[in-house]
Amino acid sequence: MKNDFSTQPGANPERSYWFSRHSKSVIFLILTLALLGGYLAFTIPVSVFPATNFPRILIAVDNGVMPTDQMMVTITRPLEEGVNSVPGLLEVRSITSRGSAEIDLFFDWNVDMFQTLQYVNAAISRVQPELPPTATVMANRLTFASFPIIGYSLTSATIPQTQLWEMATYDIKPRLNRLDGVSTVLVQGGQQPEFQITPDPAKLLAATVTVTDILDTMKRTNLIDSPGLFERNHQLVLGLVSAQVRNPQQIADVVIKNTPGGVPVRVGDVATVTPGVKPVYTIVTANGKPAVLLNINRQPDSNTVQVADEVHAQVAEIRKSLPPGIEIRPFYDQSIIVSDSIKSVRDAIILGLILASIILVVFLRDWGTSVVAGLVIPVTISVTFIALKMMGQSFNLMTLGGLAAAVGLVIDDAIVVVENIVIHRDSGQGRLRRFIAR
């Protein structure tokens, strides 16, 4: 026998609606989705821009002060010819200057850039034996994570720039680089200490020694090598022999060769060794003082705000151990932009709830209906977080801007729908009938 609630005597006509029969299940589902969205909101990455795999790979080449024409022939052109075999390559552009070259590779949007980067590195490896041994070649994908998210400046009025550079490179950089979510830490500015060997032409001629002999000697001797393993107390111990030089006198004592009479010719016999600094082509200042900069890059899938908080906490610990007279200050923080955007969306939601509730209470004079309309906004936003997580999106300027704009639409729709429901309720219709009649 078919049950028809609309025709049975005493039956509630609203029981014929599907929502009336499953109202508890629907409410439970809505609450579950809202709670799930609230939980997933804390697991969504935060960044300024969305994760985008641009179909572009940049090859950077550094080769000292080699002339531009020679760079073109010996480095730029072989690299361009070598990467032409990479699948999906559409265009190759290059800029060559004295001692450096920049090669831009543009690919089709449909290619897998992770795999394409491996193809490019393989092509560079095939060409590498043909390049000058002094050339340094690096290939990187172009992503938003390629740009620093935090920058710190290291300044001092009493400490030399060489000591600041050593402190930033060998002390601060390793401590920041091992933090979770940090990709690379780039040190810029300062003065890199080095030892300069100035040959005397007359002494070189008298000792029959060339500049190439001095260079080969320093490459061959300034190293750490192992003579092998030796056994002690039933254990194998690795032996190490250090030939590293640490001061000008040790460099001057290095033997270049022996004369036919067996007399050693040392570096100090044909050249002068003095401490110096690496040539500086770019001057870096902060707060009007010479400075060393630390630029921190995040990993592509990391949380910008979380990484920034970890870096700030680590820098606070580092600041306590710095010698007197050294200041470390932030000069750029990308997480502030993201935090301000999140706060603006939060303020938009709260302000929208308050204004919508006031309008509904003033015009409809129904507290219950106003509360229901107010709950629609956070529930809708929570369900949106589930969609963001499923699509692999992050909280960035674009998604947060979309949420801020959507809050206004949700508030407007909630006011119109609730007003229509109240009008049908006042006309005597049941709850579900006036809901469907809207």
Same domain for 301 and 186: yes
Based on the fold, state whether residues 260 and 400 are members of the same structural domain: no
pLDDT of 18 reads 65
Average pLDDT of the residues in 395-416? 78
Which string of b and e fits 150-159 if b means at least 16 CB within 10 Å? bbbbbbbeeb
- Check residue 311 and give its pLDDT: 93
What whole-number distance in Å separates Cα of residue 301 and Cα of residue 180?
A: 11
The token duo for 395 is 């909280």
What tens digit of pLDDT does each residue of 44-98 get? 887 777 777 788 999 999 888 888 888 899 999 999 999 998 888 899 999 999 8
Q: What pLDDT score was predicted for residue 239?
A: 83
Q: Cα dist. 411→34, 87, 378, 395, 407 in Å? A: 17, 50, 11, 22, 6
Whether 120 and 172 map to the same domain: the answer is no
Candidate from 9-13, 22-26, 148-152, 324-328 with smallest mean pLDDT? 9-13
290 inside domain: yes
If asked whether residues 103 and 150 sit together in one domain, one would say no
pLDDT value, residue 292: 92
Q: Are residues 30 and 159 in the same domain?
A: no
Tell me the mean pLDDT in the region 348-356.
76
Residues 100 and 223 in one domain: no
Q: Is residue 5 part of a domain?
A: no
User: Do 166 and 156 belong together in one domain?
Assistant: yes
Under the banding of pLDDT at 50, 70 and 90, the label for residue 134 is confident
1 part of a folded domain: no
CATH of the domain at 308: 3.30.70.1320
- In this structure, are 260 and 204 located in the same domain? yes
Average pLDDT over residues 141-170: 87
Q: Are residues 220 and 152 in the same domain?
A: no
Are residues 98 and 28 part of one domain? Answer: no
Per-residue CA distances from 157 to 162, 172, 320 (Å): 13, 19, 18
CA distance 264 to 365: 104
Residues 117 and 251 in one domain: no
Round the average pLDDT of the chain to a whole number and report it. Answer: 83
- Is residue 149 within 8 Å of 296, Cβ to Cβ? yes
In 84-210, where does DSSP find H-type helix? 113-127, 161-167, 173-177, 201-207
Give domain status of residue 379, yes or no.
yes
Of 277, 292, 325, the one marking the end of a domain is 277
Evaluate whether residue 318 is within a structural domain. yes
Beta strands in 233-270 (DSSP E): 235-242, 255-258, 264-266
Domain ends where: 232, 250, 277? Answer: 277
What is the domain extent for residue 372?
14-48+338-437
Separation CA 61–CA 65 (nearest Å)? 12
User: How far, in Å, are 27, 62, 191, 254 from residue 245 at the CA level?
Assistant: 76, 26, 20, 9
Number of domains into which the chain is organized = 4
Other beta carbons within 10 Å of 257: 13
CATH of the domain at 24: 1.20.1640.10
Reported pTM? 0.70
For the stretch 419-423, contacts whose Cβ atoms lie closer than 8 Å and that sit 24 or more positions apart, written own/partner, are: 419/360, 419/363, 419/364, 421/369, 422/364, 422/366, 422/369
Nearest to 273 by CA among 214, 210, 219, 224: 214
> CATH number of the domain that 267 lies in?
3.30.2090.10
Amino acid at 140: N
343 and 425 together in one domain: yes
CATH of the domain at 118: 3.30.70.1430
